[in-house]
Amino acid sequence: MSRILFRNCRVWDGSGAPSYPADVLVDGERIRTIATDRGQLDPAGAEIVEANGMTLMPGLVEGHSHITFINAVRATDIGDTPPEEHTLIAARNARILLDHGFTSAYSAASAKLRIDVVIRNAIEAGELPGPRLRACGPEITVTGGLGDDRRPHQFRDSFAVVADGPDEVTKLARLCIREGVDSIKLNISGDDHTRSGALPRTVMSEAEIKAGVTVARDFYRMVNAHCRAAESVKRAVRCGVDVIYHCEHADEEALDMLEAVKDRVFVGPAIGLLHAAVYEAPEGALHTGVRQGIELGLAAAARAYPEMKKRGIRVVIGGDYGFARTPQGENARDIAHFVNHLGYTPTEALICATRSGAQLMGLGNEAGQVREGFLADLLLVDGDPVADVNILRSKDRLVAILKGGDPYKLDRSALQHPQMRAAE
């Protein structure tokens, strides 16, 4: 097991407190000692990293991961990809996430039944590089719901599987769990910018939702849900869903319900795709109605999430990365979206990307912070992420990446010339 001593670093510990100067000793997979009285730690047997004032912080957590998404232009591109090629792409995407400082990833859904599971198992066995991964099954939708891209004359897969009625949802949820997933995904509402299930429609019934949740509880698994419409958020809360994504159209009643279960649920806005469409799509690339729907959703998120923050609802980053406008590896952009769109301070946004994400992963008592005894999932960053969260978008600014104390990356040349990078 490795033993690494980071000397002369600034620690942003994920608690919300300001950064502070310290030396940090990593012993094996854990953080052994944090010494604010620098120069006092015994370096015997340790690899010494002279940090030169760089920031040591917790590894990032992608809370809405789709490692099986292929930077697709259309949803059917995902379904059209054969499983063999798809698995290789997912393996590459897992490495891309780790390259960009994401030491953990909570899957919001897998494009095909077993790919998340296979990649998770290979990472845990040390056969593939990648983040700690909580695997999910495919998105379970209903006829006419989000992800149902079939036609009467033409069957085409997208990223979802269709189940109508409680019995079909029960059977499909059991199938996903039999194949080894950590969570199942239910598409309770549609989107406001797609052909099927457009807002304000909430298209999955409470009986169907309860069927999925019941199966998950029986097997001690978690339940994720796609919920844009206010009613879909309410149904998710009433039925016991654990992770509720989007939620931008939550009304006052929905916000009250989320607040009442804030110690149990997690919420993720996932606005990366919306931001990219509104601010980065070429002129005329989007149908007028689609663009209006996306703008409506982004504006609604800007209203709902500051309110969630005030109410203490736990929120995680992750913005549907894996489409053409949100390519894999750009995931850290979400931290700036929280600051620019949702009313979070840089520190609050970074907590969403670290401590809150670790809680979602089920690691809240041993990861997501720089604390003695915690897992050494750490980043050494050339610069101050609190002063400029955008530096986390550049993998070149990540001088060291540790996962469980293992130095996946340690750029010695960057350690020798930190000011050169800071000036770029």
**pLDDT above 70: percentage of residues in the chain:** 95
pLDDT interval class at 216 (50, 70, 90): very high
pLDDT interval class at 192 (50, 70, 90): low
Q: How far is CA 125 from CA 74, 118, 120, 132, in A?
A: 33, 11, 9, 11
* Backbone angles phi and psi of 154, in degrees to 5: -155, 120
The more confident residue out of 159 and 84 is 84
pLDDT interval class at 201 (50, 70, 90): confident
Contact 241, 226 (CB under 8 A): no
The predicted structure's pLDDT at residue 39: 77
List CB contacts of 254: < 8 A, sequence separation 6 or more: 230, 233, 234, 237, 247
SS (H, E, C) 352-372: HHCHHHHHHCCCCCCCCCCCC
User: Is 346 in a helix, a strand, or coil?
Assistant: helix
And the tokens for 207? 């009986």
The predicted structure's pLDDT at residue 159: 84
And the tokens for 293? 């729907």
* 424 has a pLDDT exceeding 50: no
pLDDT interval class at 214 (50, 70, 90): very high
* 20 has a pLDDT exceeding 60: yes
User: What is the DSSP secondary-structure string of 320-332?
Assistant: --SBTTB-TT-TT
Tens digits of residue pLDDT in 65-113:
999 999 988 878 888 899 999 999 999 999 999 999 999 999 999 999 9
The predicted structure's pLDDT at residue 418: 61
The predicted structure's pLDDT at residue 422: 43
Tens digits of residue pLDDT in 389-422:
999 999 999 999 999 999 999 998 888 766 544 4
The predicted structure's pLDDT at residue 154: 74
Alpha-carbon distance of 420 to 341, in angstroms, equals: 31
DSSP label at residue 27: E
Please state, rounded to an integer, the average pLDDT across all residues of the chain: 92
Region of 45 please: left (phi>0), alpha (psi -120 to 50) or beta: left
> Around 142, how many Cα atoms within 13 Å sit in the side-chain half-sphere?
22
pLDDT interval class at 388 (50, 70, 90): very high
List CB contacts of 236: < 8 A, sequence separation 6 or more: 186, 188, 209, 225, 227, 244
pLDDT interval class at 209 (50, 70, 90): very high
Q: What is the rounded average pLDDT of the residues 374-403?
A: 97
Tens digits of residue pLDDT in 127-153:
999 999 999 999 999 998 888 888 888
* pTM score of the predicted model: 0.94
The predicted structure's pLDDT at residue 196: 47
